A and B are shown apart, each in its own frame.
Chain A
Amino acid sequence: MTTTVAAAGLGTAARAGVEVRLENLQRRYAGVTALDGLSLTMAPGELVALLGPSGCGKTTALRLVAGLEQADSGRVVVGGEDVTGQPTNKRDVGMVFQAYSLFPHLTAWQNVAFGLQMRKVDARQRRQRAGEMLELVGLSGFADRFAHQLSGGQQQRVALARALAIQPKVLLLDEPLSALDAKVRARLRDEIRRVQLEVGITTLFVTHDQEEALAIADRVGVMHSGRIEQLGPPTTIYSRPATPFVAEFVGLTNRLPGVVRGGEVDVRGTRLPLVQPDAADGPAIALVRPEAVTVASGGETAAGPLVGTVIATAFLGATSRVSIDLGDLTVLAQLPTSEATALPAGTRVRIAIRPDPVLISRDEAAPERA
């Protein structure tokens, strides 16, 4: 999609992004803590993705910013103004929902103009603004269609145009892509990012899809049990996870039993440096990315301290994921497809682990992915 709104038109329409602060938000439902002192500061024009498994509190955080729910304590500050007690319709937020939310009795254009009508914008400006917004999302040719005449992706684009038309201070995206098929999802994801950058609006994006979060966000906040476990750029979240939960939730991780000794962890003869060098000695689980595992065919004769058997290969495109049985555990290795195709199931291989700093976990259970 390469649609671009004329600079002049967008210039009059867009509002510079504002800072959004969530300060120590607490929310409990019938004894269950949904948010446990969540704090987050979003810079003007920034897109922050809240990522986490179901029930981690990410949607609750977004709904508190929208005013659709009230916090037990804490503050929501938008553009320097404390909006914690304000009702939703006074908050000046634009929101795109997970479920299709276009008003079925109105056309696409009427949907986009709805918020402007609520703000008593005069008819001429309404027409101009709604037209601009539909053009921004590449749907000006669909202005007179009803929701049931639009595909899921088109409906969400109209919903995005509708949310942006009111020139909100902050844009809230509540898993807007989760009802779409994979191809449309990827395309619309890029589309949302393009529009967000073009408009320059501060945006909070909630998702349980790590690929989506890493691809679209300036910063990703990985949430767990009502708190942000780690907040940082996508590359940092993936390559330098701060906690075992983040390491295991974002990307795939091998859980390899080892023993911590003197700031290193010994995994079956391979000594790996620790991200947490002050970790106490004793048994632990080393968390190793599949791309840190190297594989050589040739069984006993090849280089590498561990010997195993290839049991399956998953084709992922340019790379493939090879599952290797070491007898008492299975290790995943991510290899270029050209190398993986030379390792059919049953091949005896030797594996080695690249000595990058690794995280350890003392917890037996791995987090569930949403």
Chain B
Amino acid sequence: MTRARRLRLQVFRVIVLVLGGAFFLVPIGAMFEFSTRGNRVGAPRTLEAWTTIVTYPDLLGAIRDSLGLATITSVGMLVLLLPTMIWVRLRLPRLKRSIEFLCLLPLTIPAIVLVVGLSPVYRWMAINLVDTIFLLSFAYVILVLPFAYRALDAGLSAIDVKTLSEAARSLGAGWGTVMFRVIAPNMSSALLNACLLSVALVLGEFTFANLLSYLNLQVEIFQLGLANAGTSIAVSVASLMFAFILLVILSFFGRPRRRVAPERTGLAYPSAAAGPK
């Protein structure tokens, strides 16, 4: 590659980065700018919209509920999907296409149709079981299936599941050990990606909650926007920043480990028995 071509490529990269960054940052900057405006023309900038966030008890509750929903949905998705996908890959490969089709199906069904279908079920659960916003996690698990499936499938494809499981089985491991102590630790990035997608989706979900009359973060932001536009925008910026920070944290934990502390796997290093470190 010539020096001129390298330079051109470098310039191209910088331009793409600047344009891409601007695409995301300009709206956020504009939102921040709006949220710090005073209440009248010519008024000085103020953080009042931000400081009043904590004075809305419903808003704090909605944030707490959305975080709870994100956690329950992620756990539910993993419990449902991970063992199923590993089992299908190992024992029932003929079902792979069917499972993939089922998992991708929610993408093709409009949210409103899903809500109409689920509405009687939710009504029944609210009357006969318990009426809590966390019931939404059942619907959210379905909603995140297509994205989580893709992330987990990529992780499973990156390792030799069959050989690893057969090796573990020949060493005396049961199926539970194979799944959770052999396969899962070797697809930690995929698990984190699936969780991240689930969390992002749940934190940004509006249609289900609104139509099923639950008050999650997005519904609360919407209602707040009708009463106090500044605070509504401030909460939106804060939730975007929260998602961004979460992404960075999960990416940090999801990096491939060059070293694993022996204690983390429950096996202490044999300082006396083995050779030099």
- Flag if A89 contacts B164 (CB, 8 Å): no
Question: Is A144 part of the contact surface with B, judged by Cβ < 8 Å?
Answer: yes
Q: A101 near B260 (CB under 8 angstroms)?
A: no
B274 touches A131 (CB 8 A): yes
A130 touches B170 (CB 8 A): no
Contact A68 B169 (CB under 8 A): yes
CA distance A163 to B172 in the complex (A): 11
Within 8 A of A (CB), among B103-160: 159-160
Complex: how many Å from CA A106 to CA B269?
11
> Which residues of chain A have C-beta atoms less than 8 A from B275's C-beta?
134-135, 140-143
Categorize the interface residue count of chain B: 20 to 34
Contact in complex: B164, A101 (CB < 8 Å): yes
B18 within 8 A of A: no
Give the dominant DSSP class at A's interface. Answer: helix
Q: Is B168 an interface residue when CB atoms closer than 8 A count as contact?
A: yes
Interface flags, B238-277, vs A, CB<8A=1, else 0: 0000000000000000000111101001111110111111
For residue A298, CB closer than 8 A to chain B, the reply is no
- Chain B contacts for A106, CB-based, 8 A: 260, 265, 267
B residues near A103, Cβ cutoff 8 Å:
164, 167-168, 182, 186
Considering only residues 83-100 of chain A, those with a C-beta below 8 Å from chain B are: 87-91, 93-95, 97, 99-100
A32 to chain B: closest CB distance in Å?
Answer: 17
Query: Would you call B172 and A119 a contact (CB within 8 A)?
Result: yes
Q: Output the nearest chain A residue to B270 by Cβ-Cβ distance.
A: A127
Cα distance A167–B277 in the bound complex, in angstroms:
26
Q: Are A128 and B164 in contact (CB under 8 A)?
A: no
Q: Among the interface residues B164, B174, B268, B273, which one has the most CB atoms of the partner chain A within 10 A?
A: B273
Q: Which of B168, B258, B277 contacts A114 (CB 8 A)?
A: B168
B167 touches A130 (CB 8 A): no
With both beta carbons as reference points, the residue of chain B lying nearest to A129 in the complex is identified as B273
Instruction: Determine whether the beta carbon of B170 is less than 8 Å from that of A95.
Output: yes
- Which residue on B lies nearest to A93, using beta carbons? B170
Task: Tell me if B33 counts as interface (CB < 8 A to partner A).
Answer: no
Are B265 and A109 interface neighbours, CB within 8 A? no
Chain A residues in 8 Å Cβ range of B169 = 68, 87-89
A114 and B270 contact, CB distance less than 8 A:
no
Contacts of A90 in B (CB 8 A): 172
Given A95-B170, A141-B275, A146-B260, 10 additional A-B pairs, CB 8 A: A100-B163, A103-B168, A104-B159, A107-B269, A126-B267, A128-B270, A140-B275, A143-B269, A143-B277, A146-B258
Interface residues of A (CB under 8 A from B): 66, 68, 87-91, 93-95, 97, 99-107, 109-110, 113-115, 117-119, 123, 126-128, 130-132, 134-135, 140-144, 146, 159, 162-163, 166, 172
